[in-house]
Structure 1
Amino acid sequence: MVVKGEPFLDSHYFLSEDKTGLGAQRRRKRSLESIQDRPEVAELIVDRPRRRVKRDYIEQPSIIGPLEEAQSGRKRRQTTFFERRPVPKLPFPDPLYSDQWYLIGRAVGGFDMNVREAWLMGYAGRNVSISILDDGIQRDHPDLVHNYDPYASTDINDHDADPTPQNNGDNKHGTRCAGEVAAIAGNDVCGVGVAFLSKIGGVRMLDGPVSDSVEAASLNLNQQHIDIYSARIKQGRGGKGNIFVWASGNGGSRQDSCSADGYTTSIYTLSISSATFDNHKPWYLEECPSSIATTYSSANINQPAIVTVDVPIGCTKMHTGTSASAPLAAGIIALALEANPSLTWRDMQHIVLRTANPNPLLNNPGWAINGVGRRISNKFGYGLMDAGALVKLARVWQTVPEQHMCTYEYILDAPRPRPITGRFAMNFSLEVTGCLQGLPVLYIEHIQVITTIRFGKRGDLKLTLFSPMGTRSVLLPPRPQDYNQNGFHKWPFLTVQMWGEDPRGIWTLLVESISTNMNIGGIFSDWTMLLYGTEEPAQPSDQRYGPYNSQQFHRPSSGGIGQPSQVGTNNRRVNGGGGSGNLNKNGGGGSGGGWPEIENTKERDLDREINLTIGYFEICVSHCDTGFYADGDKCKRCSSDCETCSSGELCDTCHGAKLLIDVKHYGHLDHGRCVDSCPSGLVAVYKSTIQAKCVLKINTCAAGYFQSDQATGVCLDCDKACALCHGPGPLQCDQCAPGYGNSSIGEDSESDIDVVIDEMEVEEDGKIKEEDIRVEENIIDLIEKASTSKEAV
């Protein structure tokens, strides 16, 4: 075997072998065994083809005819550079420029990505080279030929330098993406690229079997020349690092998540999401907390899509999917690199998220505010990319401090690994001090949670991470169509939603299953948290965090957790990014950190004490913190859907823009759930000072009747068991008719007895008020009636 090409990511080598001649298989086996036995070899993988798809959700034909007779694509091999044309004046005369709604303020509400402001400042992507890793590009297309860069191009599939795709009607995707970035402005062809003076190349690698070595060769291409890859990172561009842009994915219709994509979970990737013409989530969009920002793309078939070039020499208005968003982001990034060529790959991520504009997309549910006051969304990252703001910040940006990495490993108590079955919820918490004795991380950039879980149906698992500053990040939502039984093995879940926060304090990982099959089981083996960030603020003007006091934990509410009493010492291991581990004998990290012991708990002025279980630690507190509820003398974690709750699944308030179903009635089993929109039969009620709720419609009909759901104004008869009702069945009674009593249906239902008790007012001394004594006296009668009714059933 011989080493082929340059090492990938510094430590990965591609070995090639001679498969010809007698005894080739025996030689191969001996070679593999010899290599694997070497102590310096960490892993040996046999290269096999993998399935890779182009991220457009529907294939549309070109709607603009070819400009001239198409020639055979694979025969055009000449490479010619042309003089750059001068920048034309706005508006551009290109025939389809007026259809590029996402560039000229014609999205609903007058929004766009503010590219024209960057153009008017004189930026068009000069001296920036972008490579499209796809099925090749039509390098002699009339709207690309002046900007084609042969040094950013190659053909991995056919092992030559020409990235021209096969002219078979299927390989047009890469060319379309290239046109979004670098289509020439001011000519009479198609539309305009975002960075119309940039250099564009292509790597033809999806037009054949795709293996790890094919992907590595694509990413390794001419790193010192190429600035942006749309599809290494640290060593390219003279040590500043290549910019790697990736589409978040089109599996949304199957409820897939980009958290299961190995590229979007890399810290080196700018994961780009999509928004529609009317500023909504596209139906195909995958959601994940690694998405950093959004650009426009397509929606339904009757809404406008993206305008670009097409093969062999035509144009299209129908480019679609999240892969139409990533090239727009690459073009905007090229404008920023022209403004400041010194930006590193981390600088670019900083300024993209800082300048993203959430306002056009706030009409979508799911937005939240993180610990430093920025709006975040699993759908849209930090918001819509803003080219003008990005360029302005790029011009004054100072290079960020050195990146540090700090590792915390959670060590399970026995049993280890932990058995899991059916529907469950477990939380595991640890204290982070930022690796103060290693390479400190005091200002977060990326967080990776690496975990191993085996479960009978992987798609039923849900993982949520809570930061010390109160940010809730859903690392993995349920994925109903994932029936894999192997689970996740050392899978890195990435979130960028805590960017800029102080990591010191208590972190909690909530692991849940939504399974309704109690026979499904598995094991939870381990989890490790990797903190990436800096010791100093990213910019001199940024907020500077003060010294850490391990007795004052960051918590999401003002109440906070009380001081810890005694806790175990074996539940976490810490490493400081290449420095020595700093776990001290008290179980904490950093300088004298850890969980302090309180010698005399009686000195604390607490009205009552509750044991707050965090992972496998117990802390005595005066009250349960936000996100927990009291269950006897224990504080337990609410469901991740709740902001606050009365029990594990009964929410009192919801996160972000979600609505709370508030129908305390045994016919409505969804009472206390948080939802994006109200189900049929309920209406949304918004008041500025309280939680938005879904409630029953007001019944304007006379007693014994209800208004039909068809909003016709027709009043229909209640069931004979109901004196008052909101629907036709006996489970929709609001008051029983004479001779009928209330009955609970199943364990999840709630009888009117619970409602009566809940509505009793209690004075400060804990006694029931006089006017409620009559209610208390009637409880026995209600119980007897309910019991009689159940016996009759």
Structure 2
Amino acid sequence: MASSASAQQEYPLFPGDPLVHQQWHLKNTGQNAFSERGGVAGEDLNLSLTHALGIMGSGVTTAVIDGGVELTHPDLINNVKPGSWDFLTNSPDLKPANSSDSHGTGVAGIIAATAFNGIGGRGVAPRAGLVGFNYLKNGNMENWLQSHGMYSDGFNKASFDFPRVFNQSYGRTLSAPQRFNYDSTPWLQTYEQAQEEITTTSHSGRGAIFVKSAGNGYRVQSFNARGLGSGYLWFANRNHGLPMQNVNLERIDTSYWNLVVSAYNADGKLSSYSTVGSSVFVSAPGGEYGSTTPAIISTDISGCDWGKNPANLRNSLHGGHPLDPHCDYNATMNGTSSAAPNTTGAIALIMSANPALTWRDVRHILASTARKIDAEHPGVTLTFNNAQGEAQQYDAIPTWQTNAAGYDFHTFYGFGAVDVDAAVHMARFYNADRGNFTITPWQQVDANVTIPDGSVAGGESSVQIDSDVTVEAVQIRVTGEHTSTRDVAIELISPAGTRSILMTPRTGTITGRNGFDDMQMLSHHFYGEVAQGQWTIRLIDTQGEDEAFVFDPRNGAQDIRAVHRNNAQDGVLTSWQIRFIGHN
């Protein structure tokens, strides 16, 4: 709802960090950031006025849930707070385990690398606090949450050093909808329950926010082939321009308690790899790969023997560069792993500008001030032949849409690009009443509706909702049978006529022949609309012909080319559930 990049007021970034003039994500002037070419001026976080006002994250502690983090890095150490933990060593020492364990250090630097110290670059929130948790190497974050008293009366969740923003730059690439009983996955329940409690009750009720990367599966799919090992799979027609991975395939990304972020590049377009979908809340800079076009410049494991510098010399920022004589930085950090900490840093700035804001206030500010990036994007139309050989067209990814409450939304970008100056301005003078937060019970709908093969008409089912809740998010669970879930598009239509694509077609790989079993999806597309009225779910089979695909083994063996055979059977939507998250 904010202005375009070209209309942003220009303010300089203060000097004091030798690499900051190349950090396009902070201020994009078209600089090349040590790659072959630069991007488009103005496509950035738009934070220079916020920094000029001295709002830099003071009083807000951020948590990096990742791998190892070099907390003693010269550009991080001054912002480190007590409370970090390494699950591998059961100690507070988060030192990276090896030279390749540089991811968490790069994430931390994007959030809170120190400003005005004469070295390296600058974080989005360069005075925010930092703690880290080594989760990626162990996976027992839920144990930490329990051991730190999330379910005990004695834990002081209002502690100054307890994080207000948790960054999660990780995820999985799934080949098909998961089929599992949520009640039989206690670790997932524990994690979501802990996230909910921290979000809603910490910091004397002001709460916290969990930021989550959307994933990097737009163009290729990580895949394990029986007898062939792991590798990458893609379709020969580049999947009709549609994403191989949808963010709603990963269960944790359909949790309301995760604020999911996609990535855009220095040209102000979706990063080539970024996973997308209706549960994306906002988009932030992730860049590309740092060779032809810019990636993100951030902290690396210090020294010339560890980290990305000795292993990956794809650009000129490496050992011996006069701006980085000690090899403590890199210019190849990218992925939605970079978009998430850019958002985490932005949230720290918003909270620092007005510490009284609640977690819901911050989410509302982000949704209200996000910039309509890539405004002329036409969307993606899928053309296919049905069983009778007749051409069909399906609007698989719509262009930017404005919902009935006036919020702009796009499958690629959510509400749009994070605009820090606009968000901080709104935060400083914020006095809105967000009403009483509520989550409605799940409403079950028995459908038994046919999903016709290769037909844009699809199969649909409707339900009447009596609740007058104002929507902040909608969750759906779908159960049904289909012999190729990759071909199925799933959309939800509100009483006001807003149409949200919950599952893009041609998502995943050749698997998924067992249909859907309580498959959960989430959409922010209906933000601000009223729940009351008729809601309609529609499932559309978009496949009418065989498709060639390629499997590229990671072991360097020759590519394997094969054909995904068209299924010619109808599917069935057996039942579905819906619930609303919002306020009265």
Pairwise same-fold verdict (TM > 0.5): yes
Counterpart position of 1:383: 416
Q: How does 1:143-542 map to 2 (within 5 A)?
A: 143-151=75-83, 153-166=84-97, 168-208=98-138, 210=139, 213=142, 224=158, 225-231=162-168, 232=195, 233-254=199-220, 255-299=244-288, 301-313=291-303, 314-359=328-373, 361-363=375-377, 365=379, 366-398=399-431, 399-407=433-441, 409-412=443-446, 417-418=448-449, 422-423=453-454, 425-434=458-467, 440-441=468-469, 443-478=470-505, 479-516=507-544, 517-520=566-569, 523-535=572-584
Aligned amino acid, residue 507 of structure 1: W
Q: Matched residues in 2 for 1:420 and 1:94: separation?
A: 58
**Deviation string, structure 1 residues 649-705 (Cα, Å, up to 9, x no partner):** xxxxxxxxxxxxxxxxxxxxxxxxxxxxxxxxxxxxxxxxxxxxxxxxxxxxxxxxx
Gaps of 5+ in 1: 1-88, 435-439, 536-793
SS at match of 2:90: coil
SS at match of 1:253: coil
Q: How does 1:123-138 map to 2 (within 5 A)?
A: 123-138=55-70
Q: Matched residues in 2 for 1:324 and 1:139: separation?
A: 18
Conserved 8 A contact 2:483-2:567: no
**Deviation string, structure 1 residues 197-244 (Cα, Å, up to 9, x no partner):** 110111012124x36745856997885411110013222222222211
Determine which of 31, 38, 51 is the counterpart of 1:119.
51
Q: 1:270 to 1:185 in 2, by over 3 A?
A: same
Counterpart position of 2:22: 99
**Deviation string, structure 1 residues 390-435 (Cα, Å, up to 9, x no partner):** 111112223522112234635336xxx556564351011122222x
Q: Matched residues in 2 for 1:194 and 1:130: separation?
A: 12
Residue 448 (structure 1) shift: 0.6
Q: 1:359 to 1:275 in 2, by over 3 A?
A: closer
Counterpart position of 1:757: none
Q: Matched residues in 2 for 1:191 and 1:220: separation?
A: 36
**Deviation string, structure 1 residues 483-524 (Cα, Å, up to 9, x no partner):** 122333222210011101122222111111223334446542
Conserved 8 A contact 2:453-2:571: no
Higher RCO structure (Cα 8 Å, ≥6 apart): 2
Q: Matched residues in 1 for 2:93 and 2:42: separation?
A: 41
Q: 1:242 to 1:108 in 2, by over 3 A?
A: same
Conserved 8 A contact 1:308-1:319: yes
Aligned amino acid, residue 158 of structure 1: T
Conserved 8 A contact 1:421-1:519: no
Aligned amino acid, residue 463 of structure 1: I
Q: How does 1:630-669 map to 2 (within 5 A)?
A: none
SS at match of 2:118: coil
SS at match of 1:336: helix
Q: Matched residues in 2 for 1:242 and 1:487: separation?
A: 36
Q: 1:521 to 1:294 in 2, by over 3 A?
A: same
Q: Matched residues in 1 for 2:407 and 2:471: separation?
A: 14
Q: Matched residues in 2 for 1:410 and 1:100: separation?
A: 49
Q: How does 1:592-607 map to 2 (within 5 A)?
A: none
Conserved 8 A contact 1:226-1:237: no
SS at match of 1:234: helix
Question: Number of matched residues?
Answer: 435
Q: % of aligned pairs identical?
A: 28
Q: Matched residues in 1 for 2:510 and 2:284: separation?
A: 28
Q: 1:239 to 1:466 in 2, by over 3 A?
A: same
Residue 470 (structure 1) shift: 1.9
Counterpart position of 1:82: none
**Deviation string, structure 1 residues 355-385 (Cα, Å, up to 9, x no partner):** 1011454446321111122221010111111
Q: Matched residues in 2 for 1:446 and 1:144: separation?
A: 36
The structure with the largest alpha-carbon Rg is: 1
SS at match of 1:325: helix
Q: Matched residues in 1 for 2:201 and 2:114: separation?
A: 30
Q: 1:186 to 1:482 in 2, by over 3 A?
A: farther
Q: 1:520 to 1:121 in 2, by over 3 A?
A: same
Q: 1:178 to 1:220 in 2, by over 3 A?
A: farther
Q: Matched residues in 1 for 2:443 and 2:369: separation?
A: 34
TM-score by length of 2: 0.70
Q: Matched residues in 2 for 1:490 and 1:162: separation?
A: 41
**Deviation string, structure 1 residues 536-590 (Cα, Å, up to 9, x no partner):** xxxxxxxxxxxxxxxxxxxxxxxxxxxxxxxxxxxxxxxxxxxxxxxxxxxxxxx
Conserved 8 A contact 1:447-1:531: yes
Conserved 8 A contact 1:426-1:510: yes
SS at match of 2:440: strand
TM-score by length of 1: 0.52
**Deviation string, structure 1 residues 147-197 (Cα, Å, up to 9, x no partner):** 01122x11122222222221x222100010000011011122210001101
Q: Matched residues in 2 for 1:130 and 1:354: separation?
A: 23
Q: Matched residues in 2 for 1:215 and 1:475: separation?
A: 33
Q: 1:217 to 1:174 in 2, by over 3 A?
A: farther
SS at match of 1:203: strand
Q: Matched residues in 2 for 1:214 and 1:362: separation?
A: 46
SS at match of 1:312: coil
Moved more, 179-188 or 234-243: 234-243
Q: Matched residues in 2 for 1:280 and 1:364: separation?
A: 12
Conserved 8 A contact 1:134-1:205: yes
Q: 1:129 to 1:212 in 2, by over 3 A?
A: closer
Q: How does 1:558-637 map to 2 (within 5 A)?
A: none
Q: How does 1:3-42 map to 2 (within 5 A)?
A: none
Conserved 8 A contact 1:164-1:204: no
Q: Matched residues in 1 for 2:253 and 2:451: separation?
A: 28
Q: Matched residues in 1 for 2:570 and 2:511: separation?
A: 13
Q: 1:251 to 1:214 in 2, by over 3 A?
A: farther
Aligned amino acid, residue 77 of structure 2: V
SS at match of 1:126: coil
Q: 1:515 to 1:150 in 2, by over 3 A?
A: same
Q: Matched residues in 2 for 1:504 and 1:259: separation?
A: 25
